[in-house]
Amino acid sequence: MSELRNIRTAFVSVWSKDSLEKIISLLDDMDIQIYSTGGTADFIEKISGKVTRVEQLTGYPSVFGGRVKTLHPKIFGGILARRKETSDMEEMEKYGIPPVDLVVVDLYPFGETVEAGASPEEIIEKIDIGGISLIRAAAKNFEDVVIIPSREHYGELTGILEKGGKTSLENRRRLAGEAFGVSSKYDTAIYNYFTGGKEVRGPEIGYDHKQELRYGENPHQTGCYYGPAKSPFTQIHGKEISYNNFLDIDAACGLIDEFEETTFAILKHNNACGLASGISLKQTWIDALAGDPVSAFGGVLVTNREVDEETAEEINKLFFEVIIAPSYQKEALAILQQKKNRIILVNNNIDMPKQVIKSAVGGVLVQDRDIKTENHSDLETVTRMSPSENEIGDLVFANKIVKHTKSNAIVLAKDKKLLGSGVGQTSRIDALRQAIVKAHSFGFNLEGAVMASDAFFPFADSVEIAGKAGVSAVIQPGGSVRDQDSIDYCNKNNMKMVFTGVRHFKH
């Protein structure tokens, strides 16, 4: 895979000359033939005088006020010709096209020109045509050509030249990827200028499907969805999916993927308000609904099993916005389609992106998706008493739910049913109190229930409150300087506690 290439010729056409002098000196010392244009050629002549101007090579002068300088077969032929293709090499010789091994470009400062409040005429003239074409051509032929697509990459080129000027296929391919990134960002800036900055360009973040939405989170906000060519779901009934629906659908699909046994979940505002696992789909639905039948009104439903007629009849008694399932029996679909606006989706179970992107502070935050899910072997018992097999099952069950619940989060569960949860609270103890109140309000007895926390307990007070409410076992990441206080309370009160070592914050 190394396929080392030597640099014998270079095409240099840049806006920013900062740090370029060292590069030119190195190219000159290595006796590398340099081709260049306009102001860049002037700069090189002052340093070494060893440069061939593009008009000498093409036989054409710069025309139309500099709009056309490099767009010529003798330039792009030398960049795009495939060295392994005999016919390409023969045509290069026939037409007197010299090969180009290195392309160095720094584009016109379009974004900076816009931000400086320049006139429309000035802004238009800063749309780089030749430079962007050089970048794309060199990146396309990365097997033979090294592309340096911006002044941010000058330092890397200096390093390459100082080490002899040889590049591997891996390096050229990586630089090609970065070059297309530069091209994409540049085109996005132009796109946003022409659209008034009112839209986010989908291809910039790697998506090719665009869907206009009725509005954003609220009616006064515009909204749009960008996604992959193959949609994560197929809509078979109902009204147009809204911005908030998309958020709930994303949360629902992420949550249901955690479970292998028959499971039904009900979500509101991205959090599970009801969830149960079992054997019968109908009973699983009934158990999930019992977790919070009030919040379930207008919710998003998701299951990992085909919806049958008997279950559909039960589901149809509730007003809900969206249902997601891998499939539906014909009879079940006929029941669910009785409400014309009800959104019915088939989960296509495609692989979700490995990274999560969010806008923040005028930019974007990128992180790896939280794909860690703890199982029995990940649990470390830290109390004298160990949880029973049933408690271990419930602890793992509750931990899956708390992972997908907004922080600070507490989940109470028993017999693989969600009994109550505290979501999005500013303190963990408030989240626990909320979970207990909700469980009691819907008639659940917490004796023998388990508690899951998305992060460690800073004090023993939460464990104490949970124990007095009837909780018998606790699962948490651990990691507090006061962990021992919580362990000691459990030991004194016949409670069990396991650590996972993994925090699952979800903001």
For 313, list phi and psi in degrees, rounded to 5. Answer: -65, -40
269 is catalytic: yes
How many CB atoms neighbour CB 171 within 10 A? 17
Long-range contacts of 123-130 (CB under 8 A, 24+ apart): 123/193, 127/190, 128/186, 129/67, 129/71, 130/13, 130/37, 130/68, 130/69, 130/70, 130/71
| DSSP letter string, 385-446 | SPPPHHHHHHHHHHHHHHHTSPSS-EEEEETTEEEEEE-S-SSHHHHHHHHHHHHHHTT---
Asked if residue 146 lies in contact with residue 135, where contact means CB atoms within 8 angstroms, the answer is: no
Task: Choose among 498, 494, 456, 454: nearest CA to 475.
Answer: 498
Query: Annotated catalytic residue: which of 50, 140, 185, 237?
Result: 140
DSSP strand pairing (271-278 vs 224-227) = unpaired
Asked if residue 98 lies in contact with residue 78, where contact means CB atoms within 8 angstroms, the answer is: yes
Residue 39's SS3 state is helix
404 is catalytic: no
Q: State both tokens at 506.
A: 């979800």
For 394, list phi and psi in degrees, rounded to 5. Answer: -70, -35
Query: Annotated catalytic residue: which of 17, 185, 237, 269?
Result: 269
Task: Choose among 55, 49, 58, 4: nearest CA to 27.
Answer: 49
For 45, list phi and psi in degrees, rounded to 5. Answer: -60, -35
Residue 197's SS3 state is coil
Give the C-alpha separation, 472 to 463, whole Å: 10
> What are the residue numbers of the active site?
140, 269
